[in-house]
């Protein structure tokens, strides 16, 4: 129950309470996909992929991050701006990490 009397706020609160959310069955499917991707990540470490092992593991981890953010954090069912903000923040972080590793590889080469 809300203590505000603003009709726009109340409408927004009521809309979010009645928003579509995933079923329990879908949560179990996502959980199964996350378990599969975790097993796949561990399996990659046993393959002789040399430099591609890290890239493959990062792609799998990014996929898992997307599943968790979309379904368990409900970003899939929220306004698009939240997804855009998360994407911009993570992309910026990724750029800084890549630039840091590039600098470190030249510094200690």
Enclosing domain of residue 102: 79-109
Examine the domain organization and report whether 35 and 55 are in the same domain: yes
Kindly state whether residues 24 and 57 are assigned to the same domain.
yes
Q: For the residues 70-96, what does the mean pLDDT come to?
A: 89
Same domain for 17 and 55, yes or no, is yes
Q: Are residues 6 and 26 in the same domain?
A: yes
Mean pLDDT of the chain: 82
64 and 11: one domain? yes
- Shortest CA distance to 66 belongs to which of 86, 81, 44? 86
Instruction: State which of 26-30, 46-50, 104-108 shows the largest mean pLDDT.
Output: 26-30
3-state DSSP of the chain: CCCCCCHHHHHHHHHHHCCCCCCHHHHHHHHHHHHHHHHHHHHHHHCCCCCHHHHHHHHHHHHHHHHHHHHHCCHHHCCHHHHHHHHHHHHHHHHHHHHHHHHHHHHCC
pTM score, whole prediction: 0.65
Q: How many domains does the chain have?
A: 2
With a cut of 50, say whether residue 1 has pLDDT above it. no
- Span 6-28, pLDDT tens digits: 655 545 545 555 557 778 999 99
Residues 96 and 62 in one domain: no
Statement to judge: residues 63 and 96 lie in one domain = no
Together in a domain, 65 and 12: yes
């Amino acid at each position: 129950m809300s203590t505000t009397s603003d009709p726009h706020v109340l409408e927004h609160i009521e809309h979010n309470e009645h928003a579509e959310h995933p079923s329990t069955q879908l949560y179990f499917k996502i959980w199964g996909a996350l378990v599969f991707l975790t097993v796949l990540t561990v399996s990659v470490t046993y393959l002789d992929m040399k430099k591609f092992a890290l890239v493959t593991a990062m792609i799998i981890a990014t996929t898992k991050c997307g599943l968790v953010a979309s379904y368990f954090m409900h970003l899939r069912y929220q306004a698009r701006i939240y997804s855009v903000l998360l994407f911009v923040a993570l992309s910026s972080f990724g750029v800084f990490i890549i630039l840091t590793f590039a600098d470190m590889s030249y510094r200690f080469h």
